[in-house]
Structure formats: C-alpha cells, structure tokens
C-alpha cells in the first residue's frame, strides 16, 4: 500500500471530484485519495472533510460507514480541513432537521432568519447565500493571522452556497467572518484544525491559495 | 460590502463545440468549450453554464468529457443543463465535475424528478431553468415554454417558479424567449416578478446586447446573477470589462 498524503473523506454525499481535483492541482506530487474507509483516514497525513446537502443526512451517512471515530481522531491530531457541512458537523447541534453534530466544538448551526434578510438599500437577500462574498480574517492580539490565510488578501472573495451558518460559543476559535447581512463565522481554527463555510475548491485563485496553504501547513 | 452579483458566461454546446444561435435557430460555431471556459475563467467569470443542445443521443456523452476536462482546469462553479431527464443524468453530470445541474423540459413533464434530485443531491446543486414568453391568450402575463421555446405549457411562469422552489430548486435560471438572441436587453419585469416571488437566487438570461443591459438586469430585474453568451463569445466585451462597467454603475462585483 502506498502512503496517503491527503485523504478526502467520502461518505456518499455529493460530488467530491471538485475537492480532489483542486487538491491535485495545487499539490501535483501528493497522493490524494477520495476514501470512505476509516483506515485510510487514520493513516493519511492530512485529512479534508467536505460536505454537501443536509447535515442530518451527512451525519447518518458518516455513521453508516463507521467514519465518525476516524474523523474525530483526525480532527484532533493531524492537519484537518473541514469544508461547508464539514465545518457545520463539528458543532453540537444544527437547526437543520434538529440534528446532533459531532460535538467537537460547543455551539450550534443556525438558519439565516428570513426577517433579517434585507441589505442596506432595503433589497431582499436570497437564501441560500449563493455566490462570492468577502472573507475577513481574524487577527489575534499580536495582529497575526492564521497560516492558512497566507498570501490571501483580507476581504478576498470566496464562493459560498449555504442556508445555515455556525455560531461557536468560544470566540477564540473564530478565524474569519463574512457579512450576510449580519456578521457570521465563516472559518474556525484550533490547533491542527481549520474549517471553512465557503468552498475553496470553487473559489478560483483565493481558494487554490488556501488549499495550497493547507498542503504546506505544519501545525505545532 | 457584501455578496457580489455574479456574471455567468453561457456556453451552448452541440457535438462538442460551442455554438450560438438567434432565437434558438441558425447556429454559428463559436469555438472549443475547454478553451473558451479557460479564457472566461482568466477574465474573472464567477461561474460557467454549459447547455448541451446536442440533438442526437449518440453524441450526448461528449458533454461529460468536456465537463471532466474543464473541471480539472477551472476552479469556479460549473452548471450543466440540456437533456437532463432522470436522477441518474444528474448523478452522471455531478460525477463528471458539474457543481449544479439545470433541469428544464423534464421539470415540466415530471416535476417529481426535481424533487427526487433535490432530495438526493441537495437543493444547492439543482437549478430549474424556466423559458418564458409574454402571452396575451392567458389570464397571466408570462407562460412557460419547453422544447427550446417551441411548446407552450399553459403554466404561469411566476407560479411555476414558486412551485419549483417548493419542490427543492435551489436556484432559477429565467430565460425570456422573446428576448433570447435579440440583443435588446433582459425582460426585467419578468425577472423582477419571479425574484420577488421566491427566496432563492435567480439568474437572468436572454437578450443581452450591451453592458448596460447587465446593469439593468440587476437594478431593474432584481437578478442575483446575469447570464450572457454572444457578447462574450465574439470578443465584443471581456468578462472583466463587463464587471468594471457594473462596478462603475454601483453594482458590487468580484474584481
């Protein structure tokens, strides 16, 4: 068996080709494997945890393949990148289908509230939040940003498509935010883990830069 | 600052080539799809839409190879439509690298297919394309047409839009059949009526002849995204010029 540099966790929910193609594009020498085997996730050097569709279905399919333990283990021990529902599932609970998440982080996943969805000119804002919005990077007290934002402009646009967003209880894990129209957390980071609501694999140069930063990342 | 309005170049593909017609007739060759997709990506397109208008089922598989090729080189959202009849067609296109699949005639013939596809793959990847025409023989203003604008359905386009969203459509691509290929601008009243009626984003399509039409599509038609083909294919304008023009007119775009 060859080594696995990057495992993309496949639990049967949607198209993972975009994610693996984008990783292969930024890391042509790495062995990128799309897998639904817990053993592959366990032995991979890095893990990407994507997700599409509805969170309750994602959790169910993840469990049906026996992937929960391997994913939680990877999330706490090696470079780990969550994308979209792969971010939402890390929290305790989602309003979508009143579902329990993996509970790695305290907090919940909320739907954009219809009554709030008006912009500053009074125009209706659509749900899903679909398209390119600006991502503001969280700076710590030393004014440093996370290594995954390296060479990405603060306020760069990334591609989103979602109707739910995460609301962490712990402010210290917030790594980035976006406004629609209210500010919401679009990236969280803790130790070896980074997770985003937007789709870096569909976000042109800014997204490819983030994936490249992930491939090069050596968390302490 | 917030969410940018999207500019989506549309590539009509038949037998592996990009073509452009006027009112769905008189097709002219506009080039190689992969090459054109790369060019638009470099110019800053926010998304790309491919409509497979291949008539013969023999050549329909070609679109899968094109999408595979584009998806390994272009990292922006890709929508594919044309000839999508079954849930299995949706799966094939998503596996080839499409991010969204657009369903048109089949939505009318079999609305449950939209529901089944959205339930299986998520609303985020299900676009319903609505071809509408202004009519004076119905108790409503705009009627849904199918089969490339040849067949009237008796359906009210605005009511139809609401129904499709209730079944799980995550986005609507609204094409004015009166305007398509005419270069006289989008049908903004139609787009506005649909945009007001639904919560999901709408893409305005059909009739773009100049950059002011794109601005009007957003400001007057309430479009979340604007789709155009011929103004980009023949090099009249680049996507970047279109975005700069929209930005100068107060529309938020990704530059």
Q: Backbone phi, then psi, for A183, in 5-degree steps?
A: -70, 130
Q: Chain B within 8 Å of A82 (Cβ-Cβ)?
A: no
Across the interface, do A130 and B199 touch by the CB < 8 Å criterion? no
Tens digits of pLDDT across chain A (220 residues): 579 999 999 998 767 788 999 999 999 999 999 999 999 999 999 999 998 888 898 999 999 999 999 999 999 999 999 999 999 999 999 999 999 999 999 999 999 988 888 888 788 899 999 999 999 999 877 778 899 999 999 999 999 999 999 999 999 999 999 999 999 999 999 999 999 999 999 999 999 999 999 999 999 7
Q: How many helices (H) and strands (E) does chain A have?
A: 6, 13
- Nearest Cα to B92, choosing from B130, B53, B120? B120
Residues of B in contact with A160 (CB under 8 A): 3
Q: Which of A18, A52, A133 sits opposite B2 (nearest CB)?
A: A133
Question: Which ranges in chain A belong to alpha helices (H)?
Answer: 17-26, 38-43, 55-64, 68-77, 85-88, 204-216
Across the interface, do B1 and A18 touch by the CB < 8 Å criterion? no
Q: Chain B within 8 Å of A168 (Cβ-Cβ)?
A: no
Instruction: Report the residue of chain B nearest A204, measured CA to CA.
Output: B75
Tokens of A56: 């309750």
Across the interface, do A14 and B98 touch by the CB < 8 Å criterion? no
Question: Which ranges in chain B belong to alpha helices (H)?
Answer: 33-43, 62-71, 87-96, 105-109, 111-121, 157-167, 188-197, 211-219, 230-233, 239-248
Q: What is the DSSP string of A39-62?
A: HHHHH-SEEEE---S-HHHHHHHH
Residues in chain B, pLDDT under 50: none
Tell me the pairing of strands B142-146 and B151-156.
antiparallel
> Is A150 noted as a catalytic residue in this protein?
no
Non-local (6+) Cβ contacts of A173 within 8 A are A105, A188, A189, A190
Across the interface, do B170 and A130 touch by the CB < 8 Å criterion? yes
Interface of A with B in 124-153 (CB under 8 A): 124-134
Residue of B41, B46, B89, B131 with catalytic role:
B131
Tell me, what's the ipTM?
0.93
Q: Torsion over CA of B161, B164, B168 and B170, rounded to 10 degrees?
A: -40
Q: Which of A168-171's residues contact partners 24+ apart within 8 Å by CB, and which partners?
A: A168/A91, A168/A105, A168/A106, A168/A107, A169/A105, A169/A106, A169/A107, A170/A105, A170/A106, A170/A107
Q: What pLDDT was estimated at residue B22?
A: 56
Across the interface, do B199 and A203 touch by the CB < 8 Å criterion? no
Residues of B in contact with A133 (CB under 8 A): 2-4
Q: What pLDDT was estimated at residue B16?
A: 87
How many Å apart are CA B181 and CA A101, to the nearest integer? 49
pTM equals 0.95
Q: What pLDDT was estimated at residue A84?
A: 95
Q: Chain B within 8 Å of A12 (Cβ-Cβ)?
A: no
> Is A186 noted as a catalytic residue in this protein?
no
Q: What pLDDT was estimated at residue B93?
A: 93
The answer to whether B172 and B200 have CB atoms below 8 angstroms apart is: yes
């Amino acid at each position: 068996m060859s080594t696995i540099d990057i495992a993309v966790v496949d639990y049967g929910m949607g198209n993972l080709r975009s994610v693996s193609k984008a990783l292969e594009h930024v890391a042509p020498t790495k062995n990128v494997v799309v897998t639904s085997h817990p053993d592959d996730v366990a032995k991979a050097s890095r893990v990407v945890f994507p997700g599409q569709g509805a969170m309750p279905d994602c959790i169910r399919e993840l469990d049906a393949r026996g992937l929960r333990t391997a994913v939680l283990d990877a999330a706490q021990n090696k470079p780990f990148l969550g994308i979209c529902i792969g971010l939402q599932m890390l929290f305790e609970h989602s309003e979508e289908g009143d579902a329990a998440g993996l509970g790695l982080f305290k907090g919940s996943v909320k739907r954009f509230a219809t009554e709030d969805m008006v912009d500053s000119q009074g125009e209706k804002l659509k749900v899903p939040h679909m398209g390119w919005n600006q991502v503001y990077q969280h700076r710590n007290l030393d004014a440093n940003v996370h290594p995954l934002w390296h060479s990405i402009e603060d306020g760069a646009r990334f591609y989103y498509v979602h109707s739910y967003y995460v609301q962490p209880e712990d402010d210290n894990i917030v790594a980035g935010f976006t406004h629609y129209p209210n500010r919401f957390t679009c990236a969280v980071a803790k130790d070896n883990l980074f997770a985003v609501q937007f789709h870096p694999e569909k976000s042109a140069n800014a997204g490819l830069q983030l994936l490249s930063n992930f491939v090069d990342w050596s968390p302490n | 600052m917030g969410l940018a309005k999207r500019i989506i170049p549309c590539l009509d593909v038949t037998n592996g080539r990009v073509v452009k017609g006027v009112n769905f007739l008189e097709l002219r060759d506009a080039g190689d799809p992969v090459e054109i997709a790369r060019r638009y990506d470099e110019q800053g397109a926010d998304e790309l839409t491919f409509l497979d208008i291949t008539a013969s089922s023999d050549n329909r598989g070609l679109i899968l190879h094109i999408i595979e090729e584009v998806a390994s080189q272009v990292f922006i959202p890709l929508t594919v439509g044309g000839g999508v009849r079954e849930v299995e067609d949706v799966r094939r296109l998503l596996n080839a690298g499409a991010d969204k699949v657009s369903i048109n005639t089949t939505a009318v013939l079999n609305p449950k297919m939209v529901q089944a596809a959205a339930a299986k793959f998520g609303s985020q990847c299900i676009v319903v394309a609505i071809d509408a025409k202004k009519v004076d023989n119905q108790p409503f203003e705009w009627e849904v047409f199918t089969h490339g604008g040849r067949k009237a359905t008796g359906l009210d386009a605005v009511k139809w839009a609401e129904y499709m969203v209730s079944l799980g459509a995550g986005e609507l691509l609204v094409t004015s059949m009166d305007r398509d290929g005419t270069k006289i601008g989008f049908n903004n009243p139609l787009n506005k009526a649909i945009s007001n009626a639904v919560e999901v984003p709408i893409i305005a399509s059909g009739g773009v002849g100049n950059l002011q039409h794109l601005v009007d599509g957003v400001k007057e038609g309430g479009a979340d995204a604007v789709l155009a083909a011929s103004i980009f294919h023949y090099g009249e304008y680049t996507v970047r010029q279109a975005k700069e023009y929209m930005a100068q007119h107060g529309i938020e775009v990704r530059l």
